[in-house]
């Protein structure tokens, strides 16, 4: 089996000896003789199209048409027509009938790259083609037959796209009959050095120059770099160094000058941060900051109310109330610093209560704070201002909950994940604000 994989890699120009790469080649060779649909997943630039060609060339369709289509590069308004064709007059500017790729590639293979970018209506027709081999041209009511094998590819997590209602669940399961995962370059170990040497040699032969060579330090730097652009980025790097460097022996310092500084090095091979998708499209940074501020304010407010209730229910003197105040004086210091509403922060030196302060049935409890200028703040005024802040923050929290529920089509589990809270907390908040009744 090992010799077969090596011969396949040589035949199709695949460089590398990593276990995960060999496994992907083996799966592609095994599924190729069949007509099963294949879904290839892997990061951008990892070489997904090469595996689609392996599947086609090793199949019984190798003498027929092979068409590679990037679904993300086709305008959403014309992708249906490109894939399935259209009749004359189907839309403005369609002066003649036209065959689509599925009709042109009858008996061959179609490689649909970036399948996650396909619009919903086109997804529905693709599902029909996969299930019974039928399609309908745009502007026509006549069903036509085609015998095309589909190999799809994507760099995004397609199941997450299904959960967010951006991709059809039935189409996902129909496409992923046989999944093939292409490993990113950073997980292929010594393959990085082999690929760099291959690209440098090819470039030198093309332009009749001596190839560049990496010393041990440069090799170590190369293997530690993350390469978010994978093989495509590595090839560009090798060609750039080959052109610009007069010295053919490349050191680590020279190599570092060509690596983007914003792309962090890592020796522990942590997973790369993929920023192609935004988890919360409908939430701005301001909304998230409001949420964090509300959580902090709410926790502090609940704690202060709890302490205040204890003080109001306990005679304040030399007993428990005085002990509580002494142990939690810093909380009250922060409270009154915020309530003062001045730009200068006054450092609290002590927190004192009058010796005659006792629980009263009619008069509110007044806490006096000794400050450097002997100012006296009343707790009742601060509580009134605090309640206004809480109401404003509660209104903001209610708006964010409604926004999260709308975004996730009232699926509370997904909404809770977006908000960063548990489902139980979300249920309680929905009931508290009466959101179900709106």
The domain limits of the chain are 2-183, 186-257, 285-340+347-437
Q: What is the phi/psi pair of residue 173, to 5°?
A: -70, -30
**What tens digit of pLDDT does each residue of 155-196 get?**
999 999 999 999 999 999 999 999 999 999 999 999 999 999
Tally DSSP H helices, then E strands, for the chain: 18, 11
**What tens digit of pLDDT does each residue of 139-158 get?**
988 999 999 999 999 999 99
pLDDT at 4: 87
pTM: 0.60
CATH tag, 2-183: 3.40.50.300
Same fold, 2-183 and 186-257: no
> Residue 26's CB: how many other CB atoms inside 10 A?
16
- Distant-in-sequence, close-in-space partners of 57: CB < 8 Å, separation ≥ 6: 12, 32
Coil vs helix vs strand at 13: coil
Q: What is the phi/psi pair of residue 409, to 5°?
A: 55, 45
Average pLDDT on 337-363 reads 41
Match domain 186-257 to its CATH number in 1.20.1560.10, 1.10.8.60, 3.40.1390.10, 3.30.1120.10. 1.10.8.60
Percentage with pLDDT > 70 across the chain: 72
Q: Can you say whether residue 328 is alpha, beta or left, with left for phi > 0 and alpha for psi between -120 and 50 degrees?
A: alpha
pLDDT at 343: 40
Question: Residue 362: which pLDDT band, with cuts at 50, 70 and 90?
Answer: very low
Question: Residue 379: which pLDDT band, with cuts at 50, 70 and 90?
Answer: very low
| Strands 178-181 and 38-41, bridge-based pairing | parallel
Interhelix angle 329-339/379-407, rounded to 10 degrees, is 80
Tokens (6 digits) for 404: 């999260």
**What tens digit of pLDDT does each residue of 25-44 get?**
999 999 999 999 999 999 99
């Amino acid at each position: 089996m090992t010799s077969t994989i090596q011969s396949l890699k040589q035949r199709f120009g695949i460089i590398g000896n990593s276990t995960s790469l060999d496994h992907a080649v083996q799966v592609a060779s095994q599924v190729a003789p069949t007509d099963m649909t294949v879904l290839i997943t892997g990061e951008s630039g990892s070489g997904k199209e090469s595996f689609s060609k392996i599947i086609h060339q090793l199949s019984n369709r190798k003498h027929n048409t092979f068409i590679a289509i990037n679904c993300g590069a086709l305008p959403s308004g014309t992708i249906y027509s490109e894939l399935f064709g259209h009749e004359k007059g189907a839309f403005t500017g369609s002066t003649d009938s036209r065959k689509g790729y599925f009709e042109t590639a009858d008996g061959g293979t179609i490689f649909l790259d970036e399948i996650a970018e396909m619009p919903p209506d086109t997804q529905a027709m693709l599902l029909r083609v996969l299930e019974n081999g039928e399609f309908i041209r745009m502007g026509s009511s006549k069903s036509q037959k085609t015998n095309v094998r589909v190999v799809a590819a994507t760099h995004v997590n397609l199941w997450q796209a299904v959960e967010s209602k951006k991709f059809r669940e039935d189409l996902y399961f129909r496409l992923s009959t046989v999944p093939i995962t292409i490993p990113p370059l950073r997980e292929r170990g010594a393959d990085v050095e082999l690929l760099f040497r291959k690209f440098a040699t090819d470039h030198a032969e093309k332009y009749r120059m001596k190839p560049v060579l990496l010393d041990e330090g440069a090799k170590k730097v190369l293997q530690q770099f993350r390469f978010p652009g994978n093989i495509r980025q590595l090839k560009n790097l090798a060609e750039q160094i080959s052109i610009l460097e007069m010295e053919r022996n490349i050191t680590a310092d020279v190599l570092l000058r060509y690596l983007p500084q914003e792309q962090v090095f890592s020796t522990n091979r942590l997973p790369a941060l993929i920023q192609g998708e935004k988890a919360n499209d409908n939430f701005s940074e301001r909304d998230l900051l409001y949420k964090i501020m509300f959580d902090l304010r709410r926790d502090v407010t609940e704690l202060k109310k709890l302490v205040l209730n204890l003080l109001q229910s306990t005679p304040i003197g030399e007993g428990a109330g005085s002990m509580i105040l002494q142990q939690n004086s810093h909380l009250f210091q922060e409270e009154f610093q915020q309530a003062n509403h001045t730009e200068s922060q006054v450092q609290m030196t002590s927190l004192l209560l009058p010796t005659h302060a006792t629980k009263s049935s009619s008069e509110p409890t007044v806490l006096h704070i000794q400050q450097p200028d002997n100012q006296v703040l009343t707790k009742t005024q601060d509580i009134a201002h605090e309640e206004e802040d809480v109401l404003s923050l509660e209104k903001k929290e209610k708006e964010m909950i409604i926004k999260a529920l709308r975004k996730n089509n009232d699926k509370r589990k997904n909404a809770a994940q977006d908000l960063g809270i548990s489902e139980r907390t979300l249920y309680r908040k929905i009931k508290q604000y009466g959101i179900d009744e709106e």
